Amino acid sequence: MASAKGVSGTGQSPLWKSTGRRLGAGAAIAVLIGSATVAAAETATLDTATGDATLLPAAQTKNQIAQSREARRFDIPAQPLADALTLFGRQAGLQVTLKATIADSLSAPEVSGSMPPQQALQRLLAGTGIVWHFSNDNTVALERPENLSGAIVLDPIQVEGKLSAPPTAAIGTLPQEYAGGQVARGGRLGVLGNQDMMDVPFNIASYTEETIRNQQAETIADVLANDPSVRAAYGYGNFSELFVIRGFEVSPDDISIDGMYGNAPRQVVALEMYERVEVLKGAGAFLNGVAPGGSGVGGGINLVPKRAKDEPLTRVTGSFAQKTIFGGHADIGRRFGPDKAFGVRVNAALREGETAIEDEERYSHLASLGFDYRGDRTRLTVDTGTQRQRIDQGRPVVFVTGPTVPDAPSAGDNYARSYSYSELTDSFIQAQAEYDITDALTAYAGLGFRSMREDGDYATVTVTDSAGNATAGLLTVPREDENKSGQLGMRGELETGPVLHLFNVGVSALRTVNKNAFDFGFSSATSIYDPIDSPRPDSFFSGGDFDNLPKVSDTYLRSLYVSDTLSFFDERVSVTLGARAQSIRTKQYDRTTLRETSSYDQSAVTPVIGLVVKPTDEISLYANRIESLAQGPTAPNTAINVGQVFPPFTSTQYEVGGKLDLGNFGGSLAFFETTKPSGVTDLNTNVFGVDGDQRNRGIELTLFGEPLDGVRLLGGITLTDAELQKTAGGTNDGNKASGAPAYQANFGAEWDLPFLSRATVSARVLHTASQYLDVENTLKAPSWTRFDIGGRLTRTISEQDVTFLLNVENIANTAYWASAQGGYLTQGNPLAAKFSISMDF
């Protein structure tokens, strides 16, 4: 019997190590999962991004290889092999053909969990001596080795891998799902493109479409409730989702789509058109450029639009949530043309009704189209969407001027004014393209346009004493945004002796024009415990023409970047060096005269240096020094130098850590320090300046994966010491920053029930330590804990898979202040049950 020595495990054999990423598809080797077969007409394919190989029959096309690598959910109980293969075909979306006698008297073990179809098939056929190959795009043919003419049967082997675009590409290189399917192996690192978590000196978490769907996540905040480094709040005076990463805020204006700023919807993002939510933990001025909203010191958020898969998709979902929110969602994907080069993914969703908060009503509508093309050397994506959100009587944030932080009202209580509302309409289109000039040099470009209209009457509550007495006024702010963004660059790969270089050079630009007007109304008395409603108040101060909104600001961000990742010792050691020269030009205008009132044009260079060392295949150690860059603050009305605009300021981050990849279970441990300058007014001179610092030091531990078949874990803990330094007159030196808890922890688990086929239960706990509301550290919001549970069941009805989902958040209906970020309180949501039924046609 021929030997398969050196071609086992994960593909990291001496053959692959000696040739590295230079080995192409064409070796006369093949693997038929279950047993190995060698034949002259068969070929090998190599993942040029990772060096992992998949050996497959020559008859298997590129599309078939890609399809066999896409993780799917399998729930196949132990049973006769013929019945198990029928169920496998349904769940994999493939037709399985075999002679009737092949499976006689054979049994199949239980196969459960999220995995590629080839892995599921391997488990079913283990020990049977049966081999397989694709006879066409959607059909898997099973045969016994004695039926294969001229074939030599080898010992059973396992080879992992995937077909991918060149290592210089970003389109078509979405990192595959990690074991368990809840997170991916990596994500988008701005201009560096998609990267595996073990290969980069940064910490990134990427939550998958499976997580979004199984948890019935409707917004980004729903998804990031899984992350121990992130907490969500509301924006200043409105209902926008504000995120806190490593103790620093990320505004909704600073969310990117496929690595580009400026095109994501404002305030609240509906998730039906996105398949992943990625979180970069730490500064990223080099990776992503200046955040247009001026945040992003502690991290960034990137959204990945859905793409059509090789397998046709028609999925319809109906949903219901407390109290009376009904919704529907249609998700359709198709590929067509030669080699299925063209893909279209269409999503349409609608939700409307009263939430679990008393008298709060929400409406959400989304329609999107994602197009992509994958050729031999050219790749293209175009994403366009429109989203409308309306919130009536949304529960507002709470400011505190009294001596203590009041207890949170009952979880479902609402202290909003009946006239308050917010309505936003966003439309965008974003296109990205890549062309492989050579096998080692790729040119890329991106272009985006976005238009937004916001209308609303906002009534923020200010509590004045410990009894919960308060006042609430009126702020009306119609607003329009017009954004244009672009990017152009090249990525290349080059060898100089024993060193492999992956270099990147390019330019980017973003222009934002903001138009708005405002109207302040008189305040009236109320209480957060016993609200007193009142009619919409009269105006006492306004600015701008509501019928023809005046231009208020015009901001132009430009940058030039260059980087090189040098790899040594068979890519066991890599160093990333780079810098981005960025300029910020902004102009402010008077709402009445329309004349320019102030402006600045400043620039700065933000460097990056990162190190990765892999002592083993399972461990990756890393370190980085990177900066963030934000637009400078403007002196407030209370300072002598009112209106003075300060130049951009940088925040510096140092981080060291390690990552673990055991195949079915992984994690990361990071130690970080970030120092952010902040504006303060000198108490003696009453002059505003950028003098104070907020220094956040912390430890971040995350865990994820499927350590046991059918048991998936996701969670971790973050410890943060957020200290104020160089404050005005030194008064608050050493105090803790507001809205930055000392620790926060998340732990979630899923269990596939062994006694009930295709059924899963889940549970999650979130805990956040107390938070200071003010920089003087006299007001403190208490710690809180929230428990969530869920379950799902899949059944085949009329030959169609139907999935039933139930998720209950805050099962104890705990009343708590979720966040003190920004110097105000955001109350956590009450108990809310969500139920949905989805069917794949």
First-residue to last-residue Cα distance in the chain: 46
Confidence of residue 140 (pLDDT cuts 50, 70, 90): confident
- 778 located within any domain: yes
Domain boundary (135, 154, 173) is at 154
Together in a domain, 403 and 515: yes
Of all residues in the chain, what percent carry a pLDDT higher than 90? 68
CATH number where 144 lies: 3.55.50.30
Strands 398-400 and 461-463 turn out to be parallel
Dig out the tokens for 483 from the structure: 């954004």
Strands 131-136 and 139-143 turn out to be antiparallel
Confidence of residue 96 (pLDDT cuts 50, 70, 90): confident
Strand ranges (E), 375-498: 378-392, 398-400, 421-438, 441-458, 461-463, 469-476, 479-496
Confidence of residue 684 (pLDDT cuts 50, 70, 90): low
DSSP string covering 348-406: EEEEEEEBSSTT-EEEEEEEEEEEEEE-SSEEEEEEEEEEEEEEES----EEE-SSSPP
Q: What is the pLDDT of residues 726-743, one digit of tens each?
A: 887 888 899 999 999 999
For the segment 475-496, the average pLDDT, to the nearest whole number, is 95
Residue 72: give the domain boundaries.
Answer: 14-154
Together in a domain, 296 and 318: no
- 483 located within any domain: no
Query: Which helix (H) or strand (E) is 18 found in, with range?
Result: helix 14-19
Euclidean distance between CA atoms 656 and 646, whole angstroms: 32
More confidently predicted of 573 and 42? 573
Together in a domain, 667 and 792: yes
| For the ranges 59-63, 728-732, 787-791, the one whose mean pLDDT is highest | 787-791
- 103 located within any domain: yes
CATH number where 513 lies: 2.40.170.20
Cβ atoms 116, 143 nearer than 8 A: no
- 551 located within any domain: yes
Dig out the tokens for 439 from the structure: 């096998």
Q: What is the pLDDT of residues 741-763, one digit of tens each?
A: 999 999 999 999 999 999 999 99
pLDDT surpassing 80 at residue 494:
yes
Together in a domain, 287 and 347: no
Together in a domain, 539 and 588: yes
Query: Which helix (H) or strand (E) is 285 found in, with range?
Result: helix 285-288
Dig out the tokens for 232 from the structure: 């969500």
pTM of the model: 0.83
Together in a domain, 352 and 294: no
Together in a domain, 290 and 311: no
- 245 located within any domain: yes
For the segment 448-466, the average pLDDT, to the nearest whole number, is 95
Together in a domain, 367 and 281: no
Q: What is the pLDDT of residues 364-418, one digit of tens each?
A: 999 999 999 999 999 999 999 999 999 999 999 999 998 999 999 999 999 999 9
Domain boundary (105, 131, 154) is at 154
Together in a domain, 230 and 203: yes
Together in a domain, 233 and 329: no
Q: What is the pLDDT of residues 800-815, one digit of tens each?
A: 899 999 999 999 999 9
DSSP string covering 67-126: HHHS-EEEEE-SEEHHHHHHHHHHHHT-EEE--GGGGTT-EE--EEEEE-HHHHHHHHHT
Q: Is 536 exposed, middle or buried (0-12, 13-18, 19+ CB in 10 A)?
A: middle
Cβ atoms 651, 283 nearer than 8 A: yes
DSSP string covering 29-41: ---BTTBEEE-TT
Dig out the tokens for 470 from the structure: 């308060």
Helix (H, G, I), strand (E, B) or coil at 505: strand
Q: Which residues pair with 621 in a beta bridge?
A: 613, 658
Euclidean distance between CA atoms 318 and 835, whole angstroms: 9
The total of structural domains in the chain comes to: 3
Q: Mutual orientation of helices 81-92 and 117-125 as an angle, nearest 10°?
A: 180
Together in a domain, 313 and 275: no
- 88 located within any domain: yes
Domain boundary (279, 301, 323) is at 301
pLDDT surpassing 90 at residue 562:
yes
Euclidean distance between CA atoms 693 and 677, whole angstroms: 4
pLDDT surpassing 60 at residue 60:
no
Together in a domain, 328 and 384: yes
- 384 located within any domain: yes
Q: Which residues contact 840 (CB under 8 A, 6 or more apart)?
A: 313, 314, 315, 800, 801
Annotate 718-729 with b (16+ C-beta within 10 A) or e (fewer): bbbbbbbbbbbe
Q: What is the CA radius of gyration of the chain?
A: 28
Q: Which single residue is written with the structure tokens 């019928």? A: 547
For the segment 25-32, the average pLDDT, to the nearest whole number, is 28
Dig out the tokens for 254 from the structure: 């600073």
Cα 524 to chain centroid distance, Å, stands at 41
Lowest mean pLDDT among 145-159, 434-448, 633-647: 145-159
Q: What is the pLDDT of residue 134?
A: 73
CATH number where 220 lies: 2.170.130.10
Q: What is the pLDDT of residues 200-223, one digit of tens each?
A: 999 999 999 999 999 999 999 999
What's the half-sphere exposure (Cβ side, CA atoms, 13 Å) at 590?
Answer: 6
- 338 located within any domain: no
Dig out the tokens for 654 from the structure: 């140092």
Q: What is the pLDDT of residues 497-524, one digit of tens each?
A: 999 999 999 999 999 999 999 999 999 9
